[in-house]
Homo-oligomer: A and B are copies of this chain.
């Protein structure tokens, strides 16, 4: 584990001291002598972590931290505040400014390396996701996360402790983000179960537990994919420093020393929850692009690409199992005329409405796609010819049964023409679709608003 560390302090001897310590452990070090310089270097050089002195002339550490966290180029870089005094007020002010952690001067090696490694490990694990997401955001198809919204979501904290309660957690609820609920658990195995069911959003582990080795619990949580990045806060007393270091090595996200200050607890909980939600946002953005890649944006049906991929799979399965598979091709009648007469907006409205009626007429196992302008394909696995005709007629009635109401209140009669085909031995997807399309063409020739079989 190595990392690029930006050391910020207005006093050069302090900078040199930290730089020497870090370089001896093979970290790469950059330095800045003021808040302004730190902000510039952080944006340009993208360090993995910033060690930030609190007391500086000009921009002090709090303000520098706030600006780093507000800048879209630097908000993701963890910031550790380095304070001369171990003052509770400073810690809370720093956390409110968005700092991820604290070190007290003179900086102890163990604490320094534990924090740097733990914070950069997390950053490096999420960097890949972040880079991909930013590519999508640059193209305008993915949105940047709105951090302020994260605080408004409901969250459940699971507190694992032998004690009946953690007073700071209950007292501190005025400081905690809104919509937080706390659940206590004194059985480590039950806690793990709850985590695997995805119940808690954050876990607090009391390192003074005696009923179960709390480090074993940390390890078990971190060893599973599903809970590898779950927020995990350790609580320890001053004489358990070695436990804390070990817990950080095992991947605990953060820790608090007893007696717990409720405001500090609240600030750390908020930081961890934001982080977790940010990862969730990054993950879901991939699912979003995937969805965009296979869905028709206007109608919400699957698109032609997905018809090709999934339809071919269904055809293969049908050949293997010997079960019948049916296809419908559906085309809206006189759509061009409607579009020209009532305008594009009306055309779009009709497409959406017909897609919706189609969706409610087919079954959950059917694959309904928009293949082009006003044309739809439906692949129906495990469906013989008779059932295919039943469903085709259901679609016909669903479309023609009720007039389509336009936004301006006008109503229109809309009908569709349908072609039906059944998978034959040796057919590819394209072949069976083509026969349905030819049958559809005959429906059009014979006066529209009707279902025609490939054999007719």
Interface residues of A (CB under 8 A from B): 1-4, 26-28, 46, 48, 121, 124-129, 131-132, 135-136, 139-141, 215-216, 218-220, 222-225, 228, 246, 249-251, 283, 286-287, 289-290, 292-294, 297-298, 303-306, 309-310, 312-313, 336, 344, 372-374, 437
- The closest CB in chain B to the CB of A292 belongs to B293
Which 4 A-B pairs give the minimum distances between C-beta atoms? A140-B309, A373-B373, A292-B293, A26-B219
- The closest CB in chain B to the CB of A282 belongs to B128
Task: For residue A133, give the distance in angstroms from its CB to the closest CB of chain B.
Answer: 9
Task: For residue A307, give the distance in angstroms from its CB to the closest CB of chain B.
Answer: 10
Residues of chain B with a CB closer than 8 A to A46's CB: 225
Q: How many copies does the complex hold?
A: 2
Contact A224 B290 (CB under 8 A): no
Known contacts A125-B128, A223-B2, A249-B1; decide if A141 and B26 are in contact (CB<8 Å): no
| The one of B140, B222, B290, B373 that contacts A139, using a Cβ cutoff of 8 Å | B290
Contact A287 B1 (CB under 8 A): no
Task: For residue A132, give the distance in angstroms from its CB to the closest CB of chain B.
Answer: 4
Chain A contact surface mostly: helix
- The closest CB in chain B to the CB of A345 belongs to B434
Q: Compute how far the CA of A48 lies from the CA of B250 in the bound complex, rounded to whole angstroms.
A: 15
- The closest CB in chain B to the CB of A5 belongs to B223
- The closest CB in chain B to the CB of A26 belongs to B219
Known contacts A1-B251, A219-B28, A223-B4; decide if A141 and B290 are in contact (CB<8 Å): yes
Contact A1 B297 (CB under 8 A): no
Task: For residue A384, give the distance in angstroms from its CB to the closest CB of chain B.
Answer: 26
Residues of chain B with a CB closer than 8 A to A223's CB: 2-4, 27-28, 48
Task: For residue A61, give the distance in angstroms from its CB to the closest CB of chain B.
Answer: 24
Contact A437 B344 (CB under 8 A): yes
Most buried by B among A1, A26, A131: A26
Task: For residue A130, give the distance in angstroms from its CB to the closest CB of chain B.
Answer: 10
Residues of chain B with a CB closer than 8 A to A124's CB: 125, 228
Residues of chain B with a CB closer than 8 A to A312's CB: 140
Contact B216 A26 (CB under 8 A): yes
| The one of B218, B225, B251, B290 that contacts A135, using a Cβ cutoff of 8 Å | B290
Contact A310 B129 (CB under 8 A): no
Q: Compute how far the CA of A261 lies from the CA of B10 in the bound complex, rounded to whole angstroms.
A: 53
- The closest CB in chain B to the CB of A221 belongs to B2
Residues of chain B with a CB closer than 8 A to A4's CB: 223-224
Contact A293 B287 (CB under 8 A): no
Known contacts A4-B224, A223-B48, A251-B1; decide if A309 and B437 are in contact (CB<8 Å): no
Residues of chain B with a CB closer than 8 A to A246's CB: 26
| The one of B126, B289, B306, B310 that contacts A286, using a Cβ cutoff of 8 Å | B289
Residues of chain B with a CB closer than 8 A to A225's CB: 46, 127, 131
Residues of chain B with a CB closer than 8 A to A224's CB: 4
Q: Compute how far the CA of A312 lies from the CA of B139 in the bound complex, rounded to whole angstroms.
A: 12
Task: For residue A39, give the distance in angstroms from its CB to the closest CB of chain B.
Answer: 20
Task: For residue A311, give the distance in angstroms from its CB to the closest CB of chain B.
Answer: 9
Q: Compute how far the CA of A28 lies from the CA of B221 in the bound complex, rounded to whole angstroms.
A: 10
- The closest CB in chain B to the CB of A126 belongs to B128
Contact A283 B132 (CB under 8 A): yes
| The one of B26, B309, B310 that contacts A215, using a Cβ cutoff of 8 Å | B26
Residues of chain B with a CB closer than 8 A to A129's CB: 128-129, 132
Q: Can you sample 12 A-B contacts with CB below 8 Å?
A: A1-B121, A4-B224, A26-B216, A125-B125, A132-B283, A132-B287, A140-B313, A141-B290, A286-B286, A292-B292, A293-B293, A344-B372
Contact A290 B289 (CB under 8 A): yes
Residues of chain B with a CB closer than 8 A to A136's CB: 290, 293
Q: Compute how far the CA of A72 lies from the CA of B308 in the bound complex, rounded to whole angstroms.
A: 23
Residues of chain B with a CB closer than 8 A to A126's CB: 128
Most buried by B among A219, A303, A310: A219
Residues of chain B with a CB closer than 8 A to A215's CB: 26
Known contacts A128-B125, A286-B286; decide if A309 and B141 are in contact (CB<8 Å): yes
Residues of chain B with a CB closer than 8 A to A374's CB: 373
Most buried by B among A3, A27, A222, A251: A222
Task: For residue A76, give the distance in angstroms from its CB to the closest CB of chain B.
Answer: 12
